[in-house]
């Protein structure tokens, strides 16, 4: 566990801007915090650098197909805004019956002519609007089902210099080495090859590890089945 100031101090030392034990002025610590958060925001756009998948259980509303999700204002689901919805999301109909949801693009949902019919949802789409995202289900749920949402979440920014945060193994090293690369040139220090190598290796380790946890995209098995003697169209859904 570490604070942002711990990471910033170590990064300054790796960049050889400050020596171990040397005090860092408040203004430079604050500037480094902004640079640290910008780096984390950049990493959040690279799926393989995200440090966790998360599953959340959200209660749907009968007759409501569209839901806002995020932490701004009064969203339908008040939770950290997802970056991407993952295969593995499902509807729990009863204690013994789950219905997997196909993850479709928001553009595919927009092409649906019938958006009002109610039944057990068959697919979910995500529109990554900001500050809150938009989840859309098709069909519109006909009951208050439990939605088990599997998603990728962004790396958390540091709100201040002193709050202690817990990061998964390997992230502190990756942050320190890469932040050192960001800070060094600002203060007139040349980028050292050994620091470049350490930073690249730390990121590579994270990407390789996290890649094993993100399932490859694949076609839904249900897209090739028949129900009640009628065909299931891969593009338009069951019986469409």
Based on its alpha-carbon atoms, the radius of gyration of the chain, rounded to whole angstroms, reads 23
The β-bridge partners of 203 are none
Residue 122 is given by DSSP the state -
Instruction: Name the more confident of 63 and 224.
Output: 63
Domain definitions of the chain by residue range: 2-49+157-211, 53-153
Q: Which residues contact 171 (CB under 8 A, 6 or more apart)?
A: 51, 206
In the sheet with 237-238, reading across from the earlier edge strand, the strands are 226-227, 230-233, 237-238
Q: CA torsion, points 195, 200, 203, 204, in degrees to nearest 10?
A: -140
The pLDDT of residue 68 is above 50: yes
Separation of first and last alpha carbons in the chain: 52
pLDDT band at 135; cut points 50, 70, 90: very high
CATH of domain 2-49+157-211: 1.10.3230.20
The whole-chain average pLDDT of the chain stands at 88
pLDDT in tens, 35-61: 999 999 898 888 777 667 889 999 999
pLDDT at residue 213, as a whole number: 62
Q: What is the pTM of this model?
A: 0.68
Question: Is the peptide bond prior to 131 cis by the omega test (within 30 degrees of 0)?
Answer: yes
Q: Please, which pLDDT band fits residue 236 given cuts at 50, 70 and 90?
A: very low
Quick one: pLDDT band at residue 215, thresholds 50, 70, 90?
A: low
pLDDT for the residue 209: 81
Q: What is the pLDDT of residue 7?
A: 98
């Amino acid at each position: 566990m570490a604070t942002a100031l711990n990471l910033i101090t170590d990064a300054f030392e790796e960049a050889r801007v400050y020596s171990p034990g040397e005090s860092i002025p408040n203004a430079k610590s604050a500037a480094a915090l902004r640079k640290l958060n910008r780096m984390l925001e950049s990493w959040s756009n690279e799926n393989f650098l995200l440090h966790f998948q998360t599953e959340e259980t959200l209660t749907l509303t009968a007759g409501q197909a569209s839901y806002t999700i995020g932490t701004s204002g009064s969203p339908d689901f008040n939770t950290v805004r997802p970056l991407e919805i993952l295969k593995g999301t499902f509807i729990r109909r009863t204690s013994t019956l789950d219905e997997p949801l196909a993850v479709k693009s928001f553009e595919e949902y927009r092409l649906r002519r019938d958006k009002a019919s109610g039944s057990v949802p068959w697919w979910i789409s995500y529109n990554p609007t900001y500050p809150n995202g938009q989840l859309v289900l098709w069909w519109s749920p006909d009951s208050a089902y439990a939605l088990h949402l599997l998603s990728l979440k962004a790396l958390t920014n540091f709100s201040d210099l002193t709050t202690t945060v817990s990061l998964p193994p390997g992230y502190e090293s990756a942050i320190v080495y890469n932040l050192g690369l960001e800070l060094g040139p600002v203060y007139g220090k040349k980028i050292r090859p050994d620091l470049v190598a350490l930073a690249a290796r730390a990121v590579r380790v994270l990407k390789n590890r996290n890649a094993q946890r993100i399932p490859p995209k694949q076609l839904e098995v249900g897209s090739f089945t028949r129900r009640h003697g009628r065909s299931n169209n891969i593009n338009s859904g069951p019986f469409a």
